[in-house]
């Protein structure tokens, strides 16, 4: 939720952000109108309440006709106070609903939509398979040859876009996620195994029940949601709390299964395990001083790039355009690995600076001293991916060899008992 003071003092900034995102700027004016009605009703309520209290004292001292007149006025005031309270409550509820529909204010992201990202840099060397004398196979061909990926049985048991990771496939995912967790712990993150079912308050608080709510699995009988990222559970971890940031950001690394309906993605990346309904992920999550959020964002990106170097993948970093941001993100950087068989880059990580947007919804604050007085203020939250099942796609394709084997990146070998090459299984 955006800062109401910002909306009041600088509505043009919020309108401009809405336009840049491709969202409706009229929501800003509707919210301002509801806010004005709320404040006016509150002012009238308080004035009437003051008069009501004053009359109460006068009634106790009055007699005869004067007392009857005062009692009549008191009765009318009681009705007026009740009416103004109802008006204030209705306007407050309307305002809250509108504030929940306004996306976070964009901070530095390029204008435009999905294709208007800005490439910040490219890292690593893209292999020339033609010069090596063979045509690369896609990750599913390789995975089936290694007996690492089984989509046919996944579909048989669970339906389209489900799969089994078997043998070295299962080991490879565990190696990747353990390496990600070790990277996080070395950077000062607290490892957390998070719940994968959450209440609506947590899902709404993180901004996932907006335009993309159809992506989420819901258990209607229990009124619980399956998370698409442990970001949701980690953001809700300190809901309605005052946290201590005196020693720096609070950083958590969540390991969880994740679930996405992939609504609207029919025909996109249907082969293999690029776009699936269930996967595993290690997610970084940080609570920090709002003044430090931009620097923390760069730190999260740095740890993501460290993981990409660990598995020796060629990648690029993009600055995501405003129209492609989630409603909670003020800015987002993606790291995309090169996919040889499709001759394109594939998103492997993203890191978002959500400023105070999520924490304001979830009521996460810190104590600060202002002019010698202790006050509370909303903190900033940020998130970033350190490793996920999809990375297996890029690892297999970029490290494959002509005979269908796959070289294990040196950074993962300690997590695979020193294994250097994944060999095809002969039937």
For CATH 3.30.930.10, the residue range(s) in the chain are 118-422
Residue 271, C-beta contacts closer than 8 angstroms, at least 6 positions apart: 138, 140
Q: Reply yes or no on whether the pLDDT at 71 is more than 80.
A: no
What number is the average pLDDT over the span 51-61?
Answer: 65
Pairing status of strand 250-259 against strand 190-193: parallel
What number is the average pLDDT over the span 229-258?
Answer: 97
Residue 25, C-beta contacts closer than 8 angstroms, at least 6 positions apart: 15, 16, 18, 19
Spot the catalytic one: 260, 299, 331, 365.
Answer: 260
Q: Reply yes or no on whether the pLDDT at 188 is more than 70.
A: yes
Active site residue 344: no
| Residues annotated in a binding site for L-serine | 229-231, 260, 283, 383, 385
Active site residue 218: no
For CATH 1.10.287.40, the residue range(s) in the chain are 4-101
Range 118-422 classified under CATH 3.30.930.10: yes
Spot the catalytic one: 15, 137, 331, 390.
Answer: 390
pLDDT in tens, 108-164: 999 999 999 999 999 999 999 999 999 999 999 999 999 999 999 999 999 999 999
Active site residue 347: yes
More confident residue, 75 or 282: 282
Spot the catalytic one: 17, 286, 328, 350.
Answer: 350
Active site residue 121: no
Q: How far is CA 176 from CA 20, 64, 120, in A?
A: 37, 87, 26
Active site residue 275: yes
What percentage of the chain exceeds 70 in pLDDT? 93
* CATH classification for the domain delimited by 4-101, as one of 1.10.287.40, 1.10.10.10, 3.20.20.70, 3.40.190.80: 1.10.287.40
Q: How far is CA 98 from CA 23, 169, 300, in A?
A: 13, 46, 31
């Amino acid at each position: 939720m955006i800062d109401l003071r910002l909306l009041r003092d600088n509505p043009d900034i919020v309108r401009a952000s809405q336009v840049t995102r491709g969202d409706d700027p009229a929501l800003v004016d509707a919210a301002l109108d509801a806010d004005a009605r709320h404040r006016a009703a509150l002012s009238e309520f308080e004035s009437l309440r003051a008069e009501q209290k004053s009359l109460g004292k006068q009634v106790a001292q009055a007699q005869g006709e004067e007392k009857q007149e005062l009692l009549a006025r008191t009765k009318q005031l009681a009705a007026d106070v009740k009416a103004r309270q109802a008006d204030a409550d209705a306007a407050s509820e309307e305002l809250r609903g509108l504030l929940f529909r306004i996306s976070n204010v964009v901070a530095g992201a390029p204008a435009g939509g999905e294709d208007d990202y800005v490439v910040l840099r490219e890292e690593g060397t893209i292999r020339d398979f033609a010069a090596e004398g063979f045509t690369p196979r896609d990750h599913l061909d390789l995975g089936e040859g290694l007996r690492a990926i089984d989509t046919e049985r996944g579909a048989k048991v669970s339906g389209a876009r489900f799969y089994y990771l078997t043998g070295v496939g299962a080991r490879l995912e565990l190696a990747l996620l353990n390496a990600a967790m070790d990277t996080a712990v070395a950077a000062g993150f607290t490892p957390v195994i998070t719940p994968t079912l959450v209440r609506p308050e947590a899902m709404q608080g993180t901004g996932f029940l907006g335009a993309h709510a159809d992506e989420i699995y819901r258990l209607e009988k229990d009124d619980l949601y399956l998370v698409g990222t442990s970001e949701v559970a980690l953001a809700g971890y300190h809901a309605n709390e005052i946290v201590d940031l005196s020693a720096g950001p609070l950083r958590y690394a969540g390991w969880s299964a994740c679930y996405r309906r992939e609504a609207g993605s029919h025909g996109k990346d249907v082969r293999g395990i690029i776009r699936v309904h269930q996967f595993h992920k290690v997610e970084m999550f940080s609570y920090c001083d709002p003044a430090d959020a931009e620097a923390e964002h760069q730190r999260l990106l740095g740890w993501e790039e460290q993981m990409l170097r660990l598995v020796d993948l060629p990648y690029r970093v993009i600055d995501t355009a405003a129209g492609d941001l989630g409603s909670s993100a003020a800015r987002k950087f993606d790291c995309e690995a090169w996919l040889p068989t499709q001759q394109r880059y594939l998103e492997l990580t993203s890191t978002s600076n959500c400023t105070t947007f999520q924490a304001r919804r979830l009521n996460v604050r810190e104590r600060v001293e202002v002019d010698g007085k202790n006050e509370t203020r909303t903190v900033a939250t940020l998130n970033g991916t350190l490793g996920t099942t999809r990375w297996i796609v890029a690892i297999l394709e970029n490290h494959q060899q002509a005979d269908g084997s796959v070289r294990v990146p040196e950074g993962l070998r300690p997590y695979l008992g020193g294994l250097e090459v994944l060999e095809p299984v002969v039937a």
